[in-house]
Amino acid sequence: MTTALKFSPIDIEKRKAINFGSGDTIRVWSKILDKGKFRLQAFEGLVLARKHGTGPSATFTVRKVASGVGVERIFPLYSPMIDTIEVLKNSGAARAKLYYVRTKAVRDIRRKMKQTTVSAEERDAAAEVAKEVKE
Do the Cβ atoms of 22 and 48 come closer than 8 Å?
yes
Q: 106, 94, 85, 16: which is closest to 56 by C-alpha?
A: 16
DSSP 8-state symbol, 116: P
User: Would you give per-residue pLDDT tens digits along the chain (135 residues)?
Assistant: 556 556 667 778 888 888 888 888 899 999 999 888 999 999 999 899 999 988 888 899 999 988 878 899 999 988 889 999 999 988 877 888 888 888 887 777 777 767 666 667 777 777 777 777 766
Pick 12-98's CATH classification: 3.10.20.600, 1.10.3720.10, 2.30.30.790, 3.40.50.300. 2.30.30.790
Q: 80, 52, 46: which is closest to 65 by C-alpha?
A: 46
Q: Which pLDDT score, from 0 to 100, does residue 116 have?
A: 64
Query: What distance in Å separates the CA atoms of residue 17 and residue 12, rounded to the nearest whole number?
Result: 9
| Residue-range domain boundaries for the chain | 12-98
pTM of the model: 0.70
